[in-house]
Structure 1
Amino acid sequence: MLCLFCKKESQGSRSIEHVVPESLGNTTMTLPAGVVCDKCNNYFAVKVEKPFLELPEIVALRFHQAIPSKKRRIPPLEGTIGPHLPATVYRYTGGVVGGVIDVPWDAVPYLPYGGKAVLSIPGSNDEWRVAEVSRFMAKAALESMAARLLNDPVGRHSLVTDVQLDPIRDYARYGKGKLWPIHSRRIYGADKSWVLPTGETVQRVWESDFLYTSRGEVYYVLVVFGLELVINILGPVLRGYQAWLGENHGVSPLYH
C-alpha cells in the first residue's frame, strides 16, 4: 500500500483520515489507515486543516451553527459589550440554548447595573482567504477520489501513480507551485432547513461531488453550510468552471 500523497509505503500506518474535518461535522467520509500515511496525516492536521478551521469565517460559522469540535467544544467568539468593552462569548453544547459571556475583571465596574447592554459579535461571511482554503480543497479533492475507490485496488493504485495528479498532490502536501484559485459563491442560506422523508427537519453541514466537463476537466465541489467551494483538480485555472456555469444557467453541479 502506497500513501496517496507522498507515495511511500504505508502498510504500517494507523491513522484514519477524515476527508472533511471531524470538527465540521464529518463522521462518515473517512479513509482507512494506510490510504494516507501517518506522517502525511499528521502534517495535514497541523499545517492544512488547523489553519483552515482557525479562519475567522470558519470559527464564526461553527459558533453560529453550534458545530462542536472532536472534544465537543464550540469555538468561542471575541466581541464587545457596548462600544468598547472586550468580551469572549461561549456557547453550550448538548442542545442547550444559551451561553456564557466572559469579560475582563477590570471592565466589570463599567457594565450597566440593572440595565441593558448591547453585545456585538462577528457574523459569518463568505469572503474567505484563498490560501488556507485552497490547500485544504486540494487535499479534500484527492481524498474524495480515494474514498470512491476504496473497493477498487487497481483504481486506487492508479490514483497514486497518475502523474497528471502530481501537481495538485504536491500543492496539497508540500505547498509547491503557485496558488490554486478557488471559486466560491453561496448557493443557499447557512440556516436553510431540509425536510427528510421521515419528516425530520435538518441542516446540511457539508456535501460534495465531482464535475466532469466536456472539456476534459475535473472539478471538486464542496459545499459548507450553503457556501460552494470549487477547485480544478487538473490545473490552477477556473475558466472552464465559469464557462460551465454560463452554459448551465448558474446551477450548482450538486443540484444539476
Structure 2
Amino acid sequence: IIKNRCAVTKERYQRQMVRMEHDKLLEEPGETESNFGRMGYWNDFYESNDEFSWYSEWSDISPFFMELVPLQMDNDDNSQMPRVLLPGIGNDGSMVDMYDAGYKYMTAFDYAPEGVECAKRFFGEERLLKGDSNSKASLRQPEEEGVDLQIADARDLPFEDCSFDAILEKGTLDAVYLSGAANKEISMKHLSMAVSELARVTTKGGIVMSITAACADAVVKAFTNDNWQTIRDGDFYITEDGYSSNNVDAIIYAWKRL
C-alpha cells in the first residue's frame, strides 16, 4: 500500500511539474525580449495597420488549399462542409475571400483582442456566427454557417479535441517560434506546444496547411512526429489545374493528421 501511495504521489508531482512548466511558457516575455510574444505589441500593430496579409492572400493559395480541402468532404455518413480553423487572423482581410469562396464553417482566433476586432470589421456582421460562441466547433449544425472569432493562444487552445477538418495558418507558427527570441530552446518549446494543440483539435485525416518562410526548418521539425504525414514538403508543386507553387511568396507545407 505504501509503495502504491508513493507511486501515485510521484505521478502527481510529475504532472504538477509539467503543468508548472507549461504555465511558465505561456507567460509573456519582457519588453526587452521578443515582441512577437507580447499582446501589447500585436494590439499596437493591428491598430496602426489597416490591412495586412502575411506572405500571401487567399487568391494566391486557394488552388493549393482547395485541392487538399474540397468544399465537400466525405465522411462515414454523407458529405459535409469542412470545419476550418484560421490561427492568427488579425487584420488579414483576404480571409474574407476564403469565407465567400464557400468555407462557411470557419473559426478564427488571434492572441490580441485588437486582432479579433479587426477581423470583425473585415468580415462584417452578416458573416459572423450567430449566437454565443461556446468553443464547440465539433457540435455545429448544418444551418450554423458563419465565422466564429475568438481570442486565444495558439499554445493553449480553447477548442475541444477533433474539432476541425482543416487548418490554414499563414505565419502564425513563425511568430510563435520567434516569441522565444534568441533562446532557441524556448522558441522550439513554444512551437511544439502550438503544433501539439493543432494535433489535438484536428480530426483524424484532417489537413494542416502552413504558409511559412521565416522559420520553415523549425516548423518542419515540429511536425516531424507520429501524429502527422507530410503531403506537401515545400518543394515546387503544380496542381492538377496547372497552378504552380512558385507564384506564392513563401513555402507551402501540408500535413495529414494520423
Which structure has more RCO (C-alpha within 8 Å, separation ≥ 6)?
A: 2
Q: What TM-score do the two structures reach when normalised by structure 1?
A: 0.25
Structure of larger gyration radius: 1
